[in-house]
Amino acid sequence: MERITIDGFKSSLERGAYAWPGGYPTYYVCQDGGVLSFDAAHENKDLICEAMKEGFEAEWIVVAQAINWEDGNLICDHSNKRIESAYAE
């Protein structure tokens, strides 16, 4: 995974929850190793951008966007909701 910048994070939110091409479900990886669903990241985008800018609160610093290929048990650390997978359904 390539480390994401603030501008890259904002652009990824504009593109939506699914990768193109393919339409695969995406999620975000945080500096502390936690994961955020697209919806949780979108709802908290201002907090995330501030954390990324200031370098505080590792649980909100997004370092990468990834595709959930096969983990049918991947849970968002903020909402406690299951993150959709591409192939584990």
Mean pLDDT, residues 7-36 taken together: 96
Q: Which has the higher per-residue pLDDT, 2 or 50?
A: 50
Q: What percent of the chain has pLDDT over 90?
A: 91
- Segments of 1-89 assigned E as strands: 26-30, 35-37, 62-67
Condensed to tens digits (0 to 9), the pLDDT of residues 36-77 reads 999 999 999 999 999 999 998 999 999 999 999 999 999 999
pLDDT at 89: 73
Rounded mean pLDDT of the chain?
A: 95
Give the span between the Cα atoms of 67 and 27, in whole angstroms: 6
The model carries a pTM of 0.94
